[in-house]
Amino acid sequence: MMISPWDRWYSTSCCLCCHVRTGTIILGIWYMLINAVVLLILLSALNDPVQYRYHLTSSELGTDIDVMDDANICIATAISLLMILICGMATYGAYKQHAAWIIPFFCYQIFDFALNTLVAISVVVYPNTVQDYLQQLPGTFPYKEDIMSTNNMCLVFAVLLFIGCILSFKAYLIGCVWNCYRYVSGRGTTEVLVYVTTNDTTVLLPPYEEAIAIPPKEPPPQYMEA
């Protein structure tokens, strides 16, 4: 009997001890907390832009540049609110076993994984981008000169190794959420057939609840002699 790759990697446990539902709930709450902290920082920046605005002085880059203006802060605030909504839907869907509520969070994970993969590909295709990025860092960045003095190939290898670890961890989390979706959708399916396999045949039986609900057939009427 052939087993599909999806069934081969299917598991109801994650992190060696947690159920996939528990893991998805914890992951959703963790993402909600992170985005809530980011949202509080952004709202504080909108309330007091003088204190929280990141301003690069002319002594660092030669020009005055406002990296984060009000428009970018509003866009980032909207994204944070959307992320909180998506993570809340995934947490609620895993807790209440509603598979459709988990799909937006799973799509976000796929999108995030694709973006990180494009970053890794860009580092491979354009290895000089690592040095260009280091040159754009402010002069007060710790160990900037020591890092820039390192061989470019070593820097590229270190960056690719770091991104590879992140991609592996993200892929594992994607698998956990997907297994949770399969588990919840499988639990919610009402039309389930029970397979009873014998030595030479396979019989399909209806679910137990439906089998006991079927009324027994009435016996045929007795034959009456004239």
> What letter represents residue 192's amino acid?
V
Q: What is the average pLDDT across 60-89?
A: 75
Per residue in 27-42, pLDDT tens?
A: 999 999 999 999 998 8
3-state helix, strand, coil in the chain (%, to 5): 65, 5, 25
Element containing residue 158 per DSSP (H, E): helix 152-187
194 Rama sector, left if φ>0, alpha if ψ -120 to 50, beta otherwise: beta
- For residue 125, CA distances in Å to 103, 129, 147, 149, 184 come to 33, 9, 21, 21, 41
pLDDT greater than 70 at residue 115: yes
Q: Where are the domains of the chain?
A: 19-59+68-200
**pLDDT at position 55:** 46
User: Residues 124, 125, 128, 134: is their CA dihedral positive or negative?
Assistant: negative
pTM of the complete model = 0.68
Mean of per-residue pLDDT scores for the chain: 75
In DSSP terms, 19 is beta-bridged to 13
Confidence of residue 53 (pLDDT cuts 50, 70, 90): low
